[in-house]
Amino acid sequence: MPWTTAPPRRLVILGVAASDCHVVANQLIARFLRDEGFEVENLGACTPVEEFARACARRPEAEALLVGSLNGHIHEDLRGLREAKRSGRVHCPVVVGGNLSVGSSKSPASDRRLYTLGVDRIVHDPATLPAVLAQLRSAGGHFIAGRALGGRAVVERSVGAGASGAGHARVS
């Protein structure tokens, strides 16, 4: 029997970190995700954590919050994320990508700091984003944060309803 209605679109909330006005990659990622069948609420450039939290309140069906940064100041820009998740104002997994630290030298300590701030996944290659979102969705709200598609586990944390930041953490 053929489908009579289209399946509901999967919603993600997308934005660029608060101190960052670079939108070219943001627009390309939005288009890519729409082509992959996602509904994208794109908040655009210079988006503070509070604006992401308001978007989560408006769109409780969102399955992920995607934050990009090119200027390397995302650590400062996400300072309020842990509290927003703890209070339930950000209810879905947070995925970040882009240039995530200042300078040409990248360190694992930068990724660990992001996980400490409340980030659930770091995507270094935007082409892997649909696979990351599929992993988060199949985990049903309980997933291993910090497990990149390349297989390097940085932090594990169980995240479920009401458990934002309350799970166990392991750094390896």
Residue 81 contacts residue 118 (beta carbons within 8 Å): yes
Rounded CA separation 104/46 (Å): 23
Catalytic residues, which ones?
A: 20, 22
Of 165, 166, 171, residue with least CA distance to 81: 165
Using the CB atoms, write b or e for 20-42: b if 16+ within 10 Å: bebbebbeebbeebeeeebebbb
